[in-house]
A and B are shown apart, each in its own frame.
Chain A
Amino acid sequence: MTNTVDAQAAAAEDRRVLRRMARGETTALAELYDAHARGVYTLALRIVSNVSDAEDVVQEVFTQAWRQASRYDVGRATVTGWLLMMTRARAIDHLRARTARPDGVIGTALPDMPSPEPGQETAALSNETVTRLRNALGELGESFRRPIELAYFEGLTQTAIAERLGEPLGTVKSRMRTALTRLRALLYDEGR
């Protein structure tokens, strides 16, 4: 519980920092960097697999965050989620540019999802939940985990994933759905 409370407090602080950035305070950007650089860098490195590209991605993400701070929508994602969404998009762009593999890689514009309800904030994931999620991912089994990893970390479409794995498209879709639903149930249980 404390962990969840801490996560919500950190998320509220993130939103304050973003409002200050929107007012042009560069010190706020430094605070955002200190709080999130490790997470952004970690994800970028996981996707692009080299330090130089990962550092470029970090620079691009924080520059984009600075420019778009006033457009951040609290109903669509936590600040962490927003930064990771940008990180994933930029990193997959790098991956695509480097591997010159335009076919089968999704456009990196992520779903333009509507806010659940006006004014409703997206709940932050506590570290404890992330640990549970990580364990659950480990327990999913390769055949369920791998399609999700190919989609999330390599930006492949479901068709490209099916080709890569040599599995029928229907099987791949079904496994991804099952895996994500199982993980979602884990998070939903926490929120109860």
Chain B
Amino acid sequence: MTHEEARDVLPLYALGVTDTAERAQLEEHLRGCLPCQQVLALESRTVDGLGRSVDQVRPRPELRRRVLGNVRSFVDPDAIPDAGTSAGASRATPWFWAVAAAAVVALVTSIGLVSARRELAEVQAELETSQQRVAQAEERAVRAASEATSQRRVVTVLTSTDLIQATLNGEAPAASARARAFLSASTGTLIFTAYGLPALPAGRVYQLWAIVGTTPVSAGVFTPDADGRSQFIAQLPALDAPPATIAVTLEPAGGVPKPTGPMYLVGAASN
């Protein structure tokens, strides 16, 4: 395989999709080519990145105990080292008794060590349990603080003197969908709740818009739950004037700066 051919195959090799013959030829080339090895290191970093490019999901806390417990089960802290055999005891000699005495000392020491290791394992298990409880408590505290903040924001919007409301009705693609929006024009905080939205096609999201004059201002993208419901608080940039219309369109994942897709919900905003 030539150098140029190798450079062509390297990205596919790092991804693990080369066929057997191609792989063998490339590996032969790699053994003698430091520059290609360096390119491969970069390709491999890219592939590493693919594995980390997925939205992170937290595993269940119970999994930690299961994984660590599994490893501990074969580390086996209770194994008692072999302290020797008693073969030849019937022909006891002074050196035999010396060895036997040493074996007894070794056995007693081993038992002491085993006991200490068992205690250590118990302390470690207790420590892990405590750490898990602290982590769960921290998680609950963060969630509670977040919920309290959300509630404060809802109250602030609903009691604001410049409250604007809109009832959104479903357009043709989502005739039975409905939504409500509450917006404090001065702070740009918008509370939105919708139901009856159709499931999203692959690679698409819903995008919420506040239309000021003829200018749509994005209030973010969202994905409804399995029942077609969605509820969230959005923060809009400062608006030049109160919006006259609130609308929802179907857009590519990640959202767009200006609406491009079909309108699913729309409603006039009023004081």
Instruction: Identify B59's interface contact among A55, A151, A152, CB under 8 A.
Output: A55
Choose one: A33, A88, A184; the contact of B68 (CB below 8 Å): A33
Whether A26 lies near B60 (C-beta < 8 A) is no
Task: Identify which of B45, B56, B66, B72 contacts A123 (C-beta below 8 A).
Answer: B45
State the Cβ distance, B70 to closest chain A Cβ, in Å: 6
Q: Which of B16, B27, B30 contacts A106 (CB 8 A)?
A: B16
Interface stretch of the complex, out of B46-54, B83-91, B140-148: B46-54
A27 contacts chain B at the CB level, 8 A cutoff: yes
Contact partner of B19 (CB less than 8 A), chosen from A112, A151, A157, is A157
Contacts of A181 in B (CB 8 A): 11
Q: Which residues of B contact A43 (CB under 8 A)?
A: 51-52, 54
B14 in contact with A180 (CB, 8 Å): yes
A130-B49, A157-B19, A158-B17 as given contacts; A46 in contact with B54, CB under 8 Å: yes
The residue from B42, B67, B121 contacting A187, defined by CB atoms under 8 A apart: B42
Asked if A3 is an interface residue, CB under 8 A from chain B, the answer is no
Q: Once the chains bind, are B124 and A27 in contact (CB under 8 Å)?
A: yes
- How many chain B residues sit at the interface, stated as a range, is 35 or more
Q: Does B37 contact A (CB under 8 A)?
A: yes
- The answer to whether B56 and A39 have CB atoms under 8 Å apart is yes
Task: Determine if B67 and A111 form an interchain contact, defined as CB atoms under 8 angstroms apart.
Answer: no
User: With A152-B47, A180-B15 given, is the CB distance from A122 to B41 under 8 Å?
Assistant: yes
Q: Indicate whether A130 sits within 8 Å of B53 (C-beta atoms), given known contacts A26-B75, A116-B38, A125-B45.
A: yes
- Interface residues in A23-80 (C-beta closer than 8 Å to B): 24, 26-27, 29-30, 33-34, 37-39, 41-43, 45-46, 51, 54-55, 58-59, 62-63, 66, 77-78, 80
Residues of B close to A42: CB separation below 8 A: 54-57
Selected from A24, A33, A51, A123, the residue in CB contact (under 8 A) with B64 is A33
Report the number of A-B residue pairs with Cβ-Cβ less than 8 Å: 174
Give which listed residue, B18, B30, B52, B71, contacts A29 with CB less than 8 A. B71
Query: Is the pair A41, B45 in contact by a Cβ cutoff of 8 Å?
Result: no
Interface residue count on the A side (C-beta < 8 Å): 68
Whether the Cβ atoms of A187 and B14 lie closer than 8 Å is no
The residue of chain B having its C-beta at the shortest distance from the C-beta of A27 within the complex is B124
Measuring CB to CB, which residues of chain B are less than 8 angstroms from any residue of chain A? 8, 11-19, 23, 27, 30-31, 34, 37-38, 40-60, 63-64, 66-68, 70-72, 75, 121, 124, 128, 203, 253-254
Besides A33-B64, A111-B14, A116-B34, 14 more A-B contacts (Cβ < 8 Å) are A29-B68, A30-B68, A37-B63, A87-B51, A113-B40, A116-B37, A122-B44, A123-B45, A148-B15, A158-B17, A177-B12, A184-B42, A187-B42, A187-B49
What are 29 A-B contacts with C-beta separation under 8 Å?
A: A26-B68, A26-B124, A30-B68, A33-B64, A38-B56, A41-B59, A43-B51, A46-B54, A58-B59, A80-B48, A81-B48, A85-B48, A88-B51, A111-B13, A111-B14, A113-B14, A113-B40, A113-B41, A116-B34, A125-B48, A151-B15, A152-B47, A152-B50, A158-B12, A158-B18, A158-B19, A173-B12, A176-B17, A177-B11
